[in-house]
Amino acid sequence: MKTTAPLTKRLPIIGAMFMGAALILGAVLWMPRGPDLAYVPELTQVDLPQGKTLYVQVHEVTLADWNRCFDAGACAVQLRPPVGRGEQLFPATGISWIDANDYITWINRNARHSFRLPTSAEWRSIAAEVIPDKPAPLFASPNLDWASAYLMEGLKSRRLEAAGSYSVTQAGVADLDGNVWEWTQDCFNDPNLPSDRCPAFYVMGEHEAVMSFLVRDPARGGCAVGSPPAHLGMRLVTDSKPGA
């Protein structure tokens, strides 16, 4: 004789089936998925000293990249290419440290991967083969430290050039020796200061400089010291390869 279990007895099984289905559906919808490669920039692997491996954006963040962030409402400024040269692809310049972090927040959310700014030490390693040796400082006396950063030779043209106009390292990183200085995460003078309290950060390029977190356009001259960067931009790095 066949016995059909009453509904009340089958409820737990049905319930479990529903819960199982719900869990699977939930997992499909809510569980962390892999990175969205549409937002992941072109990266190249760079092996740093002490066995560390970094994945470095091949080009500086470009105008086109940047304006996607602006169009999404996550970045404050819309950037334009130099007049009359709009058909070329330019690096995004005129970016403050705050802007750079807005961009990183946006891209991390959309790419579902953790990108960041390099440290100045990492930048130096990545760029070592293309950054020329520093000329001897003009002033050797310690009393003149305040003036020793002044450069009178080896200064590049300040005209903004298209992405890919400068050297490429063996590892494939381009434009480290251009006239766009790249923000790092390193706070000037006190590495322990939390970044939202730090007044100035290292920017890396042809020579090292320090810029206030607010500055978008390093104005030329004014007070005497140092040779200010021509342009401020950024490049992403990440510690893990997206999609690996």
**Residues in touch with other proteins (CB under 8 A):** 80, 82-84, 138-139, 141, 143-144, 146-147, 150-153, 155, 157-160, 217, 219-225, 227, 230-231
- Calculate helix-pair angle for 63-71, 97-111, nearest 10 degrees: 80
- Which CB, 111 or 131, lies closer to other proteins? 131
CB of 81 to other proteins, least distance (A): 10
Handedness of CA 121, 122, 125, 130 (dihedral sign): negative
User: Which of residues 16 and 225 has its CB atom nearest to other proteins in the complex?
Assistant: 225
Pick between residue 79 and residue 237 the one whose CB is nearest to other proteins. Answer: 79
**Minimum distance of other proteins from residue 230's CB (angstroms):** 6
Minimum CB distance to other proteins, residue 221 (Å):
3
Decide: residue 96, CB within 10 A, 0-12 exposed, 13-18 middle, 19+ buried: buried
Q: 41 and 226 in contact (C-beta within 8 Å)?
A: no
Phi and psi at residue 206, in whole multiples of 5°?
-50, -40
147 token code pair: 């003036």
